[in-house]
Structure 1
Amino acid sequence: MTPPTVLVADDDRSIRTVLTQALGRSGYQVRSTGNAATLWRWVEDGEGDLVITDVVMPDENGLDLIPRIKRVRPDLRVVVMSAQSTLMTAVKAAQRGAFEYLPKPFDLKELLSVVGRALAQPAPPLPDAPEAPRDADERLPLIGRSPAMQEIYRTIARLTTADLTVMITGESGTGKELVARALHDYGKRRGGQFVAINMAAIPRELIESELFGHERGAFTGATNRNQGRFEQANGGTLFLDEIGDMPPEAQTRLLRVLQEGEFPTVGGRQPIRANVRIIAATHRDLRAAIRNGQFREDLFYRLNVVPIRLPPLRERADDIPDLARHFLDRARVDGLPAKALDQSAIDRLRAHRWSGNVRELENLMRRLAALYPQETITGDVIGAELAEAAPLVETPAAIGPEPLARAVERHIRTFLSAHDDGLTPSDIYDRVIAEVERPLIQMTLAATRGNQIKAAAMLGLNRNTLRKKIRDLDISVVRGIA
């Protein structure tokens, strides 16, 4: 049986050599070229079972080549590589029909895994999501080239052709609403409205009216019929921010809407069809809230169809220079003086813990642009500003990560103080082990993109042991959406 042939197009000779050798050792035939014209000729002649192409080539953009390939050979899979590892690269690759997008530098084992999946799976239908707007790169919503951000870009790109419910988790200031807007702006519902509601900012007695609207006379002060956010978002996206702060009675009604697909207004009887995509977000640990009886487990599973975790800024320190320069440039566009950062300033920014995350960094950059006369900001200036702000933010471990033993000790002390009512808890050991074990396994699975074999190896566990722990701890394993 003739082995599959992989067509490789990249203007970097060293990358072509590495790919040719790696694919050859894996049993594939390889043809490589440094330009798009040769690749197109091979495709037209019916050669190849899979295409791996760079984006930037001397004669044509690889992304522009994908629709032409799909027109003449719809079943031919295309894998895109790019050093321009931005959200828009991932989104455009997905919208034009690429099987997968790999940011450079890529892991050879991951690439070979992608090749195997691409050749084994049946061809999917062509994507029907609208193309991203031409000026999208000028208003790029997310900045960062770290591995954590690359995985978020790829997840967003995969969801452009889907209409799934998404749960975004992350600390305050990590950019949860930016991700929600990106999912809307580049998804199937971008022609509709993006409507956001913050559960923590609305009095609990008004939440149902805000969500579902009310009829005239439904309650004291209801002098007119008002549309709720569900109606306003009809055909678009409803972003439920800080969903963990939703009161129990509103949780029950929201669950009913998600189950039945319709709702009445407060004081109304006629059901209204709920034609919206739901994206929820929270900085809280909803699994802990479920255990404490503060959040409905059935609602959690309705919302947590596709989970996206945004890492805190301290976990993506490599992105800080790009983010800082981006915020300084945005401040300049807004009329503030132009500023630059020297290396000592960048080093000082990278060393900070950023309890307020990206929002704290943006505020600092705008403050520097507005208040300091010098054109180049130094590390001493950064240090002085951060020291001035330090008393406003609790940062018990400002010089480095908090030791695990100290964090566990603090958690247990808090737990015990909550049971000073004479009732003796009987499951402290199991609770503490579960709260340490669950995030450890979740983060390892995320790092391996759901590959349990790799995760078991990283954890030093037997694969069957890992499977049992995943089941016992009720951990959702999310694999890539090809």
Structure 2
Amino acid sequence: MTEYNDNRALHDHQPSSDQPIPAPTDKHSSPAAATLWLIDDDAALRLILADTFEDAGLTVISFTQAQAAWTRLNDILQQQTPADQLPDVILTDIRMPMMDGLSFSDWVHQHVPQLPIVIMTAHSDLSSAISSYQTGAFEYLPKPFDLDEAVTTIYKAIHYQPHTDVKTKNTRKSAVKSDATPNEPNEPNKPTEPTGHTNQASKTSPTTAPIKPAAKETSPTPPAATDNPSGIIGQSQAMQTVFRAIGRLAHSPITVLITGESGTGKELVASALHQHSPRRQQPFIALNMAAIPHDLIESELFGHEKGAFTGATTTRQGRFEQANGGTLFLDEIGDMPFSTQTRLLRVLANGEFYRVGGQQPVKVDVRIIAATHQHLEALVKQGKFREDLFYRLNVIRLPLPPLRTRREDIPALASYFMQRAAEQMNTAKKHLHPAALQVMQAFEWRGNVRQLENVCLWLTVMATGDTVMVEDLPPELLDSVPADITQQPQPPHTARSSQIPPQIDMNTQGSIDSGAISPNSPMTTQTDWQQPLAAWAKQALQTGETDILQTAMPEFERVLLTAALNHSGGKKIAAAHLLGWGRNTLTRKLQQLNLTPVQDQNKYH
């Protein structure tokens, strides 16, 4: 792995003649090896990823900041660095000092559009996914991700375009030479949040023409974690798949069929597809087929002429005309009458329809997003749904997971709905006790997210006090949850405090000795480990030590990590699960703490 010197980017934009670009020197590299630029300010994660990609046969050049990678790309564009230094693919984090990954990706997409970028981030919300694809990213990887999946994604990006294949890299290099214009490249926008650093990358020597920042109307900087205009929340793997799909489909006019149980948020997803599309300034019309009488559906969809039927005293536009230029969301499409399906098929085919009682065709430009909780294939076999319409709608199918399959998202969803309910009721937000939250996570939620929202509203109104206890939950939750969960004791402090192993020996010199961890060591009471820790902290402070948390935390993690590995027989995935970590986090901690599990560290279980 080549670690690129970022200091040059922080002090001077233009390189001097005595600062050559470092050549790849990794033992795995070869003349035919593809080059990956890896950008992340997390040194431990950068090391793990670099080792992984080098083992996969790539030449890796690492950057600690996007600013340094931007400077080097600028050198290539201005022909101050040979074009063969251009990488085959870039993997970058989003949130970094001085320049964020989205701004960097947007700039690269504008100036080197044939260079694929893969974006990774720990802030894996819908806004990050959509912003990544809008800046031209090839793929979006939410952390923690599987290392094998990351390698596969990187190779897909390298071979995405035939002319960017490793064997034909010179084609891309020559294209960069022909497109390079020394005075044109612009510096991407910096993050809008203050970073506490002075940006010196734009300082140039008196003999060098400065590069002016690009003037942009909006910044692709991701919103704050609390900013969630879409209302779609989830960190689970199932929701990350949904986020990636929305990001890819938002800018496409293609028809989408959203499937999922009632209450999973199908209309929210349809609205997000519209709000992040080029049609966002145009109308978004939502229509539930099950809520309209069958004899009125055609008039509701296509409108009617004056005198078309009794009571039609004026000409009326239908939903298709009202949504012209925008998006029409047809919810519960499976309940549409068979006769109306035929007329809808014509609109999907050529964008034309006739109003009820009309003689002239009406032409519209509408994106159709349909949704259903039913199995349309079964309805087709039963003759209740047109097969040709099914294939027209089923261009891209986007399934939404039920809430019971993503229980890890319930705490965040409950907190969000409790906050919304408090604002709606003009009262203070109530907090869920961990035991009550455990009951909610064990519940089946047949009504999915909508049912959870209603329960949070009920709790805001009916529960007494600022903290919602188990006994405050609605009867339907308590009746459906096993008794061993509802009858668990609720300690006044943290529920996990008694689960910390006691083998922590504090000495008087301010260091911590983790000792040997036996897999059969019994768990003891809370004070068995807290009292020695308190005594050590007190004496360390009395001796004038500072940053004692930085001293204690590595040894504290070493004790827990060793215990988990012993308990799991050295299996890292099992140990990570015991600790509540991801596999990549555990691997990083092993390297940081210089620990070696029983089994081979490079073998994943």
| TM-score, structure 1 as length reference | 0.77
**Structure 2 residues not aligned, in runs of 5+:** 1-30, 77-85, 165-217, 484-605
What does 1:133-212 correspond to in 2, within 5 Å? 137-212=227-302
Distance 1:383 1:332 in 2: 18
Q: Does residue 156 of structure 2 align to residue 65 of structure 1?
A: no
Aligned counterpart for 1:33 among listed residues 56, 59, 63: 63
Q: Secondary structure at the match of 2:50?
A: helix
Q: Cα distance, 1:33 vs. partner?
A: 2.0
Counterpart residue identity of residue 94, structure 2: V
What does 1:154-303 correspond to in 2, within 5 Å? 154-303=244-393
Q: Does residue 395 of structure 2 align to residue 356 of structure 1?
A: no
- The CA deviation string for residues 31-72 of structure 1, in whole angstroms up to 9 with x for no partner, is 112222222223223332211000111222111211222233
Corresponding residue of 1:473 = none
Aligned counterpart for 1:114 among listed residues 153, 165, 170: 153
Q: Cα distance, 1:14 vs. partner?
A: 1.9
Q: Cα distance, 1:141 vs. partner?
A: 2.4
Q: Does residue 109 of structure 2 align to residue 53 of structure 1?
A: no
Q: Cα distance, 1:274 vs. partner?
A: 2.4
Deviates more, 1:71-80 or 1:158-167: 71-80
Distance 2:422 2:222 in 1: 23
Instruction: Tell me the matched-pair count.
Output: 387
Q: Secondary structure at the match of 2:465?
A: coil
Q: Secondary structure at the match of 1:45?
A: helix
Q: Cα distance, 1:132 vs. partner?
A: 8.0
Q: Secondary structure at the match of 2:120?
A: strand
Q: Does residue 420 of structure 2 align to residue 330 of structure 1?
A: yes
Aligned counterpart for 2:51 among listed residues 21, 24, 46: 21
> Which structure's residues are more often helix, by fraction?
1
Q: Secondary structure at the match of 1:161?
A: coil
Q: Cα distance, 1:382 vs. partner?
A: 2.2
Distance 1:193 1:132 in 2: 24
Q: Secondary structure at the match of 1:8?
A: strand
399 and 244 in structure 1: CA distance in 2 versus 1, 3 angstrom threshold: farther
Distance 1:276 1:320 in 2: 35
Counterpart residue identity of residue 336, structure 1: T
Q: Does residue 131 of structure 2 align to residue 92 of structure 1?
A: yes
Distance 2:72 2:297 in 1: 60
Distance 1:117 1:385 in 2: 48
Q: Cα distance, 1:385 vs. partner?
A: 5.8
- Whether the 8 Å contact between 2:440 and 2:477 is mirrored in structure 1 is no
Distance 1:132 1:214 in 2: 44
Distance 1:193 1:59 in 2: 38
- Whether the 8 Å contact between 1:336 and 1:370 is mirrored in structure 2 is no
What does 1:406-421 correspond to in 2, within 5 Å? none
Q: Which has the larger radius of gyration?
A: 2
Q: Secondary structure at the match of 2:349?
A: helix
- Whether the 8 Å contact between 2:418 and 2:457 is mirrored in structure 1 is yes
Corresponding residue of 2:552 = none
132 and 73 in structure 1: CA distance in 2 versus 1, 3 angstrom threshold: closer
Q: Cα distance, 1:138 vs. partner?
A: 4.2
134 and 234 in structure 1: CA distance in 2 versus 1, 3 angstrom threshold: farther
Q: Cα distance, 1:399 vs. partner?
A: 6.1
Q: Cα distance, 1:121 vs. partner?
A: 1.5
Q: Percent of pairs identical after alignment?
A: 49
| TM-score, structure 2 as length reference | 0.62
